[in-house]
Amino acid sequence: MSANTSSSFTRAIMSQPVWLLPVLSLLLVTFVKYTQSRRSLKGLRLPPGPKPLPIIGNVLDVPTTDMGAKFREMTQKHGDIVYLDALGQPMIILGSHEAANELLEKRSANYSDRISSVMRLISGWEWTFVLMPYGQAWRQRRKEMHQFMHPNTVAQYQPLQQREAVKFLHRLLAQPEAFLHHVRHSFGSTIMRVSYGIEVAEENDPYVAAVEEGVATFNEAFVPGAFLVETFPSLRHIPSWFPGGGFKRTAAKWKEIAHNMRDAPFRKTLEAIKKGTAEPSIASTLMEFAERKEGEEYEQGKIIARDVSALAYAGMP
């Protein structure tokens, strides 16, 4: 290449918009990653699934709304175990109890880990062990959750469930047209009592509103293929104002919502514990265990109590 040709090429590149080079680089990296992904799977027998498109894979097959029903349709068409590849991110959909039990219970040693997720860290869901990588923190939270949710324990919640069922029927008789609202309120009231010992308001309860808003952000944050940063983790380092950095602004808003959902009812329970008015709950029981410890062990126990209580609470919707 002559000096004049090289100079012309350089001027042409420099005259392009500032965002063009990063975009072209990203497309190149996407292609390379896609190629490597296909090569690494070459010769391996994968479960059936929709036919992927070049480079983007099954991104267009991943539902963004009504995911449960659409994944169900997919498993009915392709079988109990379905494979998807969204921009090089593999997904396995389990469509039956038998398939889930076989892989997640009988073969749990092989499948107990979680994929690394940047959105988990930046959108405020780093605390939930559902998304945590397998390790000590995951084991601690699962152990504590299990003691409150195994079959021999849940029987103690039946009197509360019966009281809430009676209240639900009274509300339904008074306002039958608000059936779904009554169902959500009854379920939310039960979980709030179990998790925190808190009685929710009949209307416009702030804790119920917080969890509904929080879970909505969760459902958006973890749609496979929705955020390129999950495929290219290095993108988390770009500024939020940079082209393509809008996900960081969105994640910052979601983080505030998720942490408010996690922290607000827990603070309420801590206040009740200090006053001596706390009702029996997951949070108060775990705090009782934590208060038997000192220093760092106490702080860690408090964090576990906060996280485990919030996980049960977040299941309300």
According to the model, what pLDDT value does residue 36 have?
56
According to the model, what pLDDT value does residue 31 have?
55
pLDDT digit of tens for each residue in the chain (317 aa)? 555 544 544 444 444 444 444 555 555 555 555 555 555 555 568 899 999 888 788 888 888 788 888 999 999 999 999 999 887 778 889 999 999 888 888 887 677 667 778 888 899 999 988 888 888 888 899 899 888 888 888 888 899 999 999 999 999 999 999 999 899 888 889 999 999 999 988 888 899 889 889 988 988 888 777 788 887 788 888 889 988 889 999 999 999 999 999 999 999 999 999 999 999 999 999 999 999 999 999 999 999 999 999 988 876 44
Q: Around Cβ 268, how many Cβ atoms within 10 Å? A: 18
According to the model, what pLDDT value does residue 167 have?
93
According to the model, what pLDDT value does residue 206 have?
92
The answer to whether the beta carbons of residues 122 and 109 sit under 8 Å apart is no
Gyration radius (Cα) of the chain, Å: 24
According to the model, what pLDDT value does residue 65 have?
80
- Give the pairing of strands 81-86 and 89-94: antiparallel
The answer to whether the beta carbons of residues 119 and 227 sit under 8 Å apart is yes
Please name which of 303, 315, 296 lies closest in space to residue 140, comparing C-alpha atoms.
Answer: 303
According to the model, what pLDDT value does residue 20 have?
47
- The Cα 219–Cα 241 span in angstroms is 25
Give 224's strand partners: none
